[in-house]
Structure formats: C-alpha cells, structure tokens
Amino acid sequence: MSFYTSLSGLQASQTDMSVISHNLANVNTNGFKKSRSEFADVIASSLASDPTKQVGSGVVVKANRQQFSEGNLRSTASALDLAIAGDGFFAMQTSGLNKQTNYTRNGTFLIDSDHFVVDSQGSNLLTYPVDSDGNIISAGSNSLVPLKLPETSGQSIATTKIALAANLSAKQAEPVGTFDRNDPTTFNYSTATTVYDADGTARTLANYYVRTQTPAVPTPTESKWEVHSYLGEEPLTLKGGTDDKFEMSFDSNGIMTAPTGAGTAVEFNTIIPKGTSTPIDLTQDFNNFTQYTSSFQVTNRSQDGRAAGQLSGVTVDSSGLITASFSNGDVNPVGRVAMANFTNPTGLRQLGNSYWSSTGLSGEPSLGSAGESGFGTLMAGTLESSNVDITEELVSLIAAQRNFQSNAKALETANSISQTIFNIRS
C-alpha cells in the first residue's frame, strides 16, 4: 500500500513542478496569469472503519487554479498598447471561418492591412459602435463589432477663393529685365499657396510681385506693382481675357487703391491642370495688401478648399473611447473598447496565446465599458506583464523538488521492505 501512496506523491510533485515550470517559462508573456497546484489527501474508509486506525492512501491533484492578480504595468511608445488597471478582459473575435469570441489581458494591438485593429494572432478587437459624440449607440453582446479605423474623413472640396494679405516694401527698386519666373532678379517677391482640385489633389498657386515704372503723369508718390499668377507651371489669365497679369496701385500712405478699390477680388479663367480632367475656377482676394517702408511680410493667407483627411493618429482614453485623427484636422470617435468580466474567472478555459474562453464554471461574460462598476480602467501606451514572481516560483520549485525526492525515498524504502519480505518467503 505504501508503494502506491508514495507513487501518488511522486505524481503530485511532478505535476507541481510542471505547473511551476510553465509559470517560469511565461515570465515575459504579456497578460499571462500564473497557476497554482492544489492538492487533497486520499483516505480509503468505510462506515465500519475505526477512525482512529485509518491510514491515508496518498495525494491527488484537485486543481491547477489560475491566479488572476494584476501583473506589473510598463509604458510603451504605441497608443494601441492597452492595459487594464483592475478587473476585466478584452473581447477578441478570432479570424477564419469559424469565428468565436475569446478573452485576453494581452493588450498588444496593431493595425492590419485592412485597417482593422488586431492582436498578434490576427484576432479583431471588439468594440461598441458610437455616435459622433462618443456615446454608445447599441449595447449588448450582439452589438459588438470588430474595430476598423476609417482611412479618410470628410469630402474633398475644390478651392475657389484665396485670400492674401501682405506688405510690399516701399523701399524696393524696380527689377531690371523682362519678367521670368525662373529668374529671381526679374521680380521682387513671391508667395505660394496650396490649393485643391475637386479630387483633393494639392497644387501650388504662386504669385510673383514686380514693381513697375511710374505712369507718365502720376501722383508723385504713387507706385504700381504687377502680379503674375501661376498654377503649377501654367499661367492664370484674367477672367474674360488673355492677360496673364494684373496691376496693384498704392497711394502715398501705402494703401492699395487698385484694382478698382482696395480688396477687390481678381477672377481668373477656368484652367484644367496638366495630368487631370478636373477644371479649377479661382478667385484671389488681395484685401489688406499694403506698401509701407517695412520689410516684405505675409500677414494672412487662407483658401476655402480641402482634401479628404488621411488617418494620422489614434488615441484611447481611460474609458476606452477610441478617437481617430486625420490630416485635415478632423477628430472622430470610432468606437469604445468592450470589456468582459466573469463571476468566476478561475473557471475560464486556457486556450494558449494568452486567450481564455468561457465555461460553465466561469459563467457567461458580463459586458461593459472601462471605468464602470466591475471593470477596471484602460491605460493607453501601457502593457500588462505576466504576474509571475520569479523568486516566489523558484522557492516553490525547490519545495516541489524536495517533495519529489522525499516521495522517491519513501518509494525506495517501500521497495526495499517488499524485497525483504520476498526474501523471507524464499
């Protein structure tokens, strides 16, 4: 009998060492939760047995119980690295034909080629849909959707009006030679403004400012400037004509008096830039241009076009609200991270890859958002490390090894006794 008792002790110690070794092997696994072997003694008895004469029959492993204490949190440089400070799990939808929902504490997420937010196994992060204010519009397990980040935001709007304000220095002399945009000595100043066509393609509108001769019978202090406008490499011509320049006049106080009154807009003929079939109609407003003795300076520049915004960044706040920012300045809420928790987390089934699935022991998941009752808060740019304490595990490993050696010695002794008995019989 002692042989089988010692053998059960060997098996239990071996299981204990296997569990500890598994813990140590995953000391660097994000979101990993260690396990602990729990044992119970075995007693063979009946109602007729004298309780004072019962002898135990060994040990049995009752459970390898998971420990869901929180691991250390460490900062990272990625906004999509998420950690749960407190209780809860991320809900993940697996890839492939047979999709199912698993749960994890490993918040290492990235954006795949289709702009879905996934983990290293390719499973999709599940979120609640939200409105433009970030409020959840549909709750419940059937409302969870894989998080997909939009590639663009808004519609492209073609530029129609440009407004400029600048000071053209009165100290500038008239340049020598015929205007040539490729020769800086033939003009005094230039400005560049980015404009957009209907497709959202950015183009450069350049203005070149040339101080010209004073008219034959002028006001002595009046001065004039020619303005040449180009869209890319193509000159713009004035509306209804073929002139590729227009004049600005300033009085003795440096105030613009022409074209036809200060601030009047200059309209151009429709132009179709090379390489596109999209026409552009532009009007430039030179309101608030001045000619003072101070240096040349652009004081205002604006245009009414825009391109569709390209995704430029993602942020996640402590409540799990995911916000996407775009190159055109748009900032849009795109979802809220769904959190899951269980009545009995130790009853979850381990699946590997830091995944768990629900069982009858764990109960069905309760869903909610970070920060609500029963759920921890989210920390962006942070990951949860394994909750394995190396020192504690090594001490436990030494104890398990001693238990194994003790049971091995007891087994050896039992074997020696049995051999002695066999020798007596012979």
Tell me the pLDDT band of 235, cut-offs 50, 70 and 90. very high
The answer, yes or no, to whether residue 424 has pLDDT greater than 90, is no
Show the tokens assigned to 314: 């993602």
Q: What is the SS3 string spanning 304-370?
A: CCECCEEEEEEEECCCCEEEEEECCCCEEEEEEECEEECCCHHHCEEEECCEEECCCCCCCCEEECC
Count the neighbouring beta carbons within 10 Å of the beta carbon of residue 80: 21
Task: Please count the helices (runs of H) and the strands (runs of E) in the chain.
Answer: 2, 30
For 17, the enclosing helix (H) or strand (E) is: helix 2-25
Q: CA–CA separation, 125 vs 383, rounded Å?
A: 16
Q: Which amino acid is at 268?
A: F
313 vs 24: CA distance, rounded Å: 37
Rounded to the nearest integer, the mean pLDDT of the chain is 89
Distances (CA, A) of 97 to 93, 94, 100, 104, 356: 11, 9, 9, 21, 19
Beta-strand relationship, 321-326 and 117-118 = unpaired
Q: Per-residue pLDDT for 215 more than 50?
A: no
pLDDT band at 220 (very low <50, low <70, confident <90, very high): low
Mean pLDDT of 390-395: 94
Residue pair 336/378 in contact (Cβ under 8 Å)? The answer is no
What is the band of 184 on the pLDDT scale with cuts at 50, 70, 90?
Answer: very high
Q: Specify the amino acid at residue 390.
A: I
Q: Quick check: bond before 259 cis, omega within 30?
A: yes
**Angstrom distance (rounded) from CA 400 to CA 24:** 14
What's the predicted TM-score (pTM) here? 0.73
Q: Residue 135 pLDDT > 70, yes or no?
A: yes
What DSSP designation does 405 have?
H
CA distance 70 to 178: 76
**Tens of pLDDT, residues 77-129:** 999 999 999 999 999 999 877 889 999 999 999 999 999 999 999 999 999 99
Over residues 187-214, the mean pLDDT reads 90
**322: its two tokens:** 């995911």
Tens-digit pLDDT profile for residues 309-329: 889 999 999 999 999 999 888
- 165 pLDDT above the threshold of 50: yes
pLDDT of residue 348 exceeding 90, the answer is yes
In b/e form, how buried is each residue of 365-387, taking b as 16+ CB within 10 angstroms? bebbbbbeeebbbbbbbbbbbbb
At residue 155, the pLDDT reads 87
**Residue 179 confidence (pLDDT):** 94
Q: Can you give the pLDDT at residue 358?
A: 95
- The CA-atom distances, in angstroms, between 234 and each of 32, 64, 73, 268 are 63, 77, 58, 12
The label of the residue with tokens 């040449």 reads 228
In the predicted model, is pLDDT for residue 3 greater than 90?
no
- What is the arithmetic mean of pLDDT over 9-36? 93
**Residue 8, SS3?**
helix
Torsion of CA 357, 358, 361, 366, to 10 degrees: 140
Burial class of 85 by CB neighbour count within 10 A (0 to 12, 13 to 18, 19+): middle
Under DSSP, is residue 27 helix (H, G, I), strand (E, B) or coil? coil
Give the integer Cα–Cα distance in Å for 209 and 191.
9
For residue 58, what pLDDT is reported? 83
Please give the Cα distance from 172 to 226 (Å, whole number): 13
With bands split at pLDDT 50, 70 and 90, how would you rate the model's confidence at 262?
very low
Q: What percent of the chain has pLDDT over 90?
A: 63
Checking DSSP bridges between strand 355-357 and strand 366-368, what pairing results, if any?
unpaired
Report the pLDDT value the prediction gives residue 392, as an integer from 0 to 100: 93
